[in-house]
Structure 1
């Protein structure tokens, strides 16, 4: 009887290394998500990221002790692509998370550059730079970025429309933040004695200074609570008010367009994630760390640059630093406006300003409280007036839910007037 041999095993042999590799891949990349290579290839596909070469150049300039203006310029420009990368990583993580987690993530990293620069300047005891950069960031968003967006949309459309309810809510929140900043200035004016103004960068144990600290810290905690309520309002209870609608730009200058066509009847498909969650998270962590080191070099060079080249520190904090931090938002906002997506434009400009006023500024005041740096909400009188008048103008222009290029021209003109005044201050 012939002997038969089994040549095909009943249970096929599977190499152990493949099983381990598959487990590791599943751990860091969910089913259907882009690979790490595809994630980072997409993230760095833009030509604008060639500016990342300034990151190592900034470290080299700092190590070699180059001129302060070079260190300031290199670090400032290097923050532009880093801010864009932070925005891309945050957006990609938001696409894969739930609405609530996405909102919290955007609240934390939506203005990451401003937060990092603010904390770095605070730890360097540059109180004036912290305050000026925060006010300057708000003015840059609601005047320059929003104004240029209105002008860009006005070059294509005779008039553009956006949700009135969301605009009114955002305008009211900006007014609340503005009044909160006015209160410490009013308190200072009421308690001042012998016409000797308080130096807002030096807080002592005098009753007026103690009162400013109490008002500022209490108001900061209240504003943080309001911002948390705003997130709940926006993401849960009244999310329909903030839901992005189809393009509402109408009465196009282009011949052959009708209102119905301009309003857009096509429903856009939801955006697909270009990065895996873990890849975006790792990128977010690495970029945040690099940005913190670049911000430290930037802040350390401000004093020497201002002194050597006779540049007012107020101009650096109120104009130059915000221009660097808001460069990615400027591009996004103008691009969306030209496509008629004015609700997204309002969300980028006004929504981001609310985030600065209700989250970033109170957060920095709280961090200063914990770290022993007496940061208050008592800003320079001219900065307070600039903020107050800017909020009034923006509220007047967005309350009707419509915009045109003349609205944008008014916003940009006011910003240029403020920039000129900050230069000579």
Structure 2
């Protein structure tokens, strides 16, 4: 066997430029295949990870809508949240109210604002400063409201933690007056999971956002996230069914349902990944088949001599197969590195698309899927030498020796 390996390596080294170009071609095909597999699996897993960042498996939205898919809100929020929290199968409930508040005198006119309860919120993680007060800690009317903002808000507003500004609702553009306003102090810098990184966002205590929006919002919320106590799929589905039965004014959406809905919207990317992945497999197969065929045709006389001195057909087959295996292995090793580099680069480009959550990734490394796809390419490249290997093993010995001598 060691002699077969030596002969296969020597054959590949006989034409180094051609072998190198073939390996580079296989590396490009392997990188493309790896990137497409990462794209096909990455969006689903990244979205799942995003939804489960803080453990909430259920989203409760206004009837017939997706969370924040419209400006619709849920009335009677206090009673709904209380009913959910009373269910022993529900571990935690996080209500939220989203609204756009005006920023009089600021560099930009308005900011998307989330009203949250600090002790159960699942929308951000604090990077610097301090958090919002707990719901039981009231803030005096004369005291600035604590606000948590993201990095985009600080950059666009030119503010720093500790600075104050005014937020308002019901702004009259002609009279330049607001129905309600409040001074806020920026106490924390946070990363918001579900908001695009380039979008300025502010979080305030839920009860204060309701007060700013007016009496019609005193018992409203945009969405509530719920966490099943046991966490398995059956338990989550049982809780979802219970919510749908007992709370007819809302729609409960599980993580699995949300993933399916997003996949329908992003199905183009999966189809593209499948097509380009199939093309990369075909490219790898054709490259190896072409090079091995050329090599066999150039060595007909040499192979005939080996057969004449007693080498069996199986020996010739194994040697030619080894050539395809070595080329495929070298190309796939290079393609693994190239694929990871290009995936990181492409992910950075796609993540800049407007409207995407800051924590969303298009390309995500999945060891099982990646190794299976690269193994498939290795098998494909190795089997590409089947026809030329069989032809090499079946070369007529006498005629080939005569042709080689005449040539």
Q: Place the TM-score, normalised by the shorter chain, in its bin.
A: under 0.3
Q: Whose strand proportion is higher, 1 or 2?
A: 2
| Structure possessing the higher radius of gyration over alpha carbons | 2
If the length of structure 1 is used for normalisation, what is the TM-score? Answer: 0.22
If the length of structure 2 is used for normalisation, what is the TM-score? Answer: 0.22
Higher relative contact order (CA 8 A, sep 6+): 1
Q: Whose helix proportion is higher, 1 or 2?
A: 1
